Structure 1
């Protein structure tokens, strides 16, 4: 099916991104101008909550938090699935002047406690877990349960138990925060490796405005929350940008993505777009023959992919299936999510294999000496602009290594073309050194993913006494394809340099993924490299 060339454009040069200053006033314009418009669709009954109702719930939470003795600039944790409680807690705490740290509900109690204590959170707001998920673990800080009860008539009330007194004298990194800060997000990784990124209200406002401007999000738009809100992808791109632009977000009944209900949810929301990681796009593509309702689904203006590389073959297949442009984007926690994106047609060409152009930031590709690389030459991607965080909390050494003169050194390898489109080629820390030849596992994975019958691939280093490292690959084959390791290797030999071709291929049923949907490389190495 052909991709509509102008499906996403409202009118030349007429779009204006929302005027906000941060989390606290995110809803204000919509409450003034469109108070009865739907902001959220929640619960199994798909109750519509208006902007006025959502703001009232947030104000109620803010008032209750204000009576606990917490001061503006204090840090507070938030553990909750993708449901109304998360949104109300986040916006309510922001209106109370608190700094919110969303955390993964699936973390064990020891890791949740470690992160809260490293931050110096004075209390934890606790919402419901996702359906069928294990109960959220107990932690060593005061915990305040929060619930939202919504009726089919669109009325709602909040229950917040703040009986346990907040910690008075906290340790950790909270002393580095102020009431200019809005959020603290944890980077992906284990407890020992996860870093705390403070994001100001100005960072949040710049990110939301940039996302809205890129996709021209407005009151006529709606989406389904696919990605978890405790990471930037789901938080900024799906939730906050939609609400700031006056659109609507459907929160799945289970509190998380469900392939079984996804298209029903899209119809219920009259969704115009959605954003997800490649792993979820692959699931939707694999299920399209039995699950995609085709003409019964409202036409999509665009589909967005971010947080992990999307191979070109999948991108084209998604566009053919869904009849909408698939826009690849690139972002990270330290840049308040989005850095680049492919533009809406006809705002610019779609370049499959790229992650588009900078969106509200300056971008450089530099060599090992910090000099700007020529067009088309690979180097490290550096980012500068209003969305870039000031550093890491409690980690001056890593801040000095990753932030240089207000430039974020991303650790990602890439190259810019003549039109300013960025193509990513891998992560510096992931490079495999095979006898002096530096190999990007992401590049090899992209080739493997293009092999007919291959659903997903992970490439990793195998220790080797002669070369130092060799190339290994774990490959997931689509059911019924009957493809074997030798066929995959033949495909690779025709498309890769000889030193890049995997020395070992393991056919596996599934690959491990992180909570935000990216490939869990540490788990892959532990499982398949020995």
Structure 2
């Protein structure tokens, strides 16, 4: 449907980072002008990789990939924690003309395999995973190639790829819709079969990286610590790619994952000037601040960034006082290659409490249910359009038709714009539960719980939580003649769900409310269970 032109706003052009066209030339300027500067600091021994070394590793791996029979536009999976292997594989894949699909390494193996199979990857690059329980990627008929980067304290580094058997035959699944113009496929929240696959072109990537760099004026003097996972847009675009494009340095923590215990040591080791995280991590850092962040050893920060979930205003102000730096809220989504709005640096405008800032490189509209623009302050659904926005979903024309119209993406989020163009988020149109930035599909968790022997039906819903914003809870109906207890149901679900999807609370009930059509009445479930005090009637 055509969307009226009235009521839109556009972000200002302020600072322009080095010109890039996508992932393939992301390092080019830095390699020419600052080849010996630090690009990465990796692992527990904090081995440094210069831009020249990182460029060489990516080039070596790209040549190896090109010799495997993979063709330009083919999709490859990438299962890896936040390590040097991830960065090298991502850049090498782009140089070889491949489309890289990062996958959460903590997903249960069936979920991981289903996503990669639905896409139709021809090979899987397997790097170190965060945590001993991470599942290996196994896709029927698709080879898994272990990848390893060895970096010495002297700055030298090598990359090894064990290709073993050849690639999978031909493009299967949704990969047939890809071309060499595409750079990435990112997965949204959902079930293994229904998780949406978002194709992002090199042009989408370049626009997103440039917007992030411009918003925060990132440059060679900046450094950060990789807090968020790279298989999400938040960590990938804001922390990793924007930093490398602007000539800064990214420290990759030991084990490839965030640790509150080592965070400030990592920040000092990197000489960090900023970091970005979800509100849950900000809350954790604030709680530990008296022990971890006190004294003159805390690096001076230009700013701190928060995204992927609403940030409590009191937490924001407390962190600003503790860290002595402005905390800037941003808003984005996978379909817009992450950032769509952000609060500005203090020198470029006043901050407004509760706002996620103004648009950064996209157009944004707030529309009522009839598709008409809302007046200033009026609540409606947020639509975005611009060079960062994906063309649709792979392999799902129906969802593409529902979510995309005339270049606009319907975010499913509710919000309002004030008279100055500042965005205020007010909720979601969908059922997804937002647990500290991790999105949980209630329908999928319900299906898993219902598969537990002795369980007849389950309803999953959100309960408020001071740390995570929301937690998942479940009301479960057992089959006749008794059945499992809450702990047994939890043990069953832990082997089949990602850790963040496992319900924190389970209540055994006699029945669940249904609509006249026979479907689960979610509104009634929320009234009955979601607003009870924590622990009341729950086991």
Normalising by structure 1, we get a TM-score of 0.82
Q: Is the 8 A contact 2:79 2:137 kept in 1?
A: no
RMSD: 2.5
Indicate whether 1:469 and 2:524 are aligned. yes
Equivalent-residue separation in structure 2 for 1:279 and 1:370 (angstroms): 34
1:17 deviation in Å? 1.4
Equivalent-residue separation in structure 2 for 1:320 and 1:473 (angstroms): 40
Equivalent-residue separation in structure 2 for 1:66 and 1:307 (angstroms): 36
Per-residue CA deviations over 1:25-57 (Å, capped at 9, x if unaligned) read 000000000000000001211111000000000
Corresponding residue for residue 7 of structure 2 = none
Corresponding residue for residue 477 of structure 1 = none
Corresponding residue for residue 27 of structure 2 = 27
1:505 deviation in Å? 1.9
1:285 deviation in Å? 0.8
1:430 deviation in Å? 3.9
1:134 deviation in Å? 3.4
Equivalent-residue separation in structure 2 for 1:217 and 1:96 (angstroms): 28
Task: Note closer, same or farther for the CA distance 1:424–1:357 as it changes in structure 2 (3 Å cut).
Answer: same
Indicate whether 1:316 and 2:317 are aligned. yes
Corresponding residue for residue 151 of structure 1 = 152
Q: Is the 8 A contact 2:117 2:139 kept in 1?
A: no
Corresponding residue for residue 282 of structure 1 = 283
Equivalent-residue separation in structure 2 for 1:15 and 1:225 (angstroms): 24
Q: Is the 8 A contact 1:302 1:324 kept in 2?
A: yes
Which residues in structure 2 correspond to 1:411-422 (within 5 Å)? Answer: 411-422=412-423
Q: Is the 8 A contact 2:342 2:356 kept in 1?
A: yes
Q: Is the 8 A contact 2:118 2:193 kept in 1?
A: no
Which residues in structure 2 correspond to 1:140-219 (within 5 Å)? Answer: 140=140, 141-219=142-220
Per-residue CA deviations over 1:487-507 (Å, capped at 9, x if unaligned) read xxxxxxxxxxxxxxx752225
Corresponding residue for residue 119 of structure 1 = 119
Task: Note closer, same or farther for the CA distance 1:169–1:15 as it changes in structure 2 (3 Å cut).
Answer: closer
1:470 deviation in Å? 6.5
1:293 deviation in Å? 3.4
Q: Is the 8 A contact 1:222 1:269 kept in 2?
A: yes
Q: Give secondary structure in 2 for the equivalent of 1:505.
A: coil
Corresponding residue for residue 504 of structure 1 = 532
Q: Give secondary structure in 2 for the equivalent of 1:412.
A: strand
Corresponding residue for residue 56 of structure 1 = 56
Indicate whether 1:458 and 2:498 are aligned. no
Corresponding residue for residue 225 of structure 2 = 224
Equivalent-residue separation in structure 1 for 2:464 and 2:187 (angstroms): 31
Corresponding residue for residue 297 of structure 1 = 298
Q: Is the 8 A contact 2:377 2:418 kept in 1?
A: yes
Which residues in structure 2 correspond to 1:352-363 (within 5 Å)? Answer: 352-363=353-364
Q: Is the 8 A contact 2:330 2:356 kept in 1?
A: yes
Task: Note closer, same or farther for the CA distance 1:473–1:57 as it changes in structure 2 (3 Å cut).
Answer: farther
- Mind listing any 5+ residue stretches in structure 1 that lack a counterpart? 1-12, 433-446, 475-501, 509-526
Equivalent-residue separation in structure 1 for 2:468 and 2:36 (angstroms): 44
Q: Identify which range, 210-219 or 312-321, moves more after superposition.
A: 312-321
Equivalent-residue separation in structure 2 for 1:112 and 1:125 (angstroms): 13
1:448 deviation in Å? 7.0
Equivalent-residue separation in structure 2 for 1:431 and 1:61 (angstroms): 38
Equivalent-residue separation in structure 2 for 1:156 and 1:259 (angstroms): 28
Q: Is the 8 A contact 1:108 1:137 kept in 2?
A: no
1:295 deviation in Å? 2.0
Corresponding residue for residue 524 of structure 1 = none
Which residues in structure 2 correspond to 1:519-530 (within 5 Å)? Answer: none
Q: Is the 8 A contact 1:459 1:473 kept in 2?
A: no
1:471 deviation in Å? 4.6
- Mind listing any 5+ residue stretches in structure 2 that lack a counterpart? 1-12, 434-462, 476-511, 516-520
Corresponding residue for residue 479 of structure 1 = none
Which residues in structure 2 correspond to 1:477-516 (within 5 Å)? Answer: 503-507=531-535
Q: Is the 8 A contact 2:74 2:171 kept in 1?
A: no
Task: Note closer, same or farther for the CA distance 1:232–1:456 as it changes in structure 2 (3 Å cut).
Answer: closer
Task: Note closer, same or farther for the CA distance 1:377–1:460 as it changes in structure 2 (3 Å cut).
Answer: farther
Equivalent-residue separation in structure 1 for 2:179 and 2:221 (angstroms): 36
Q: Identify which range, 455-464 or 171-180, moves more after superposition.
A: 455-464
Equivalent-residue separation in structure 1 for 2:289 and 2:528 (angstroms): 27
Normalising by structure 2, we get a TM-score of 0.80
1:136 deviation in Å? 2.7
1:163 deviation in Å? 1.7
Per-residue CA deviations over 1:449-491 (Å, capped at 9, x if unaligned) read 7xxxx545538899768995265699xxxxxxxxxxxxxxxxx
Equivalent-residue separation in structure 2 for 1:459 and 1:130 (angstroms): 23
Corresponding residue for residue 445 of structure 2 = none
1:137 deviation in Å? 4.3
Q: Give secondary structure in 1 for the equivalent of 2:145.
A: strand
Equivalent-residue separation in structure 2 for 1:421 and 1:115 (angstroms): 37
Equivalent-residue separation in structure 2 for 1:360 and 1:270 (angstroms): 29
Q: Give secondary structure in 1 for the equivalent of 2:387.
A: coil
Corresponding residue for residue 442 of structure 1 = none
Task: Note closer, same or farther for the CA distance 1:165–1:424 as it changes in structure 2 (3 Å cut).
Answer: same
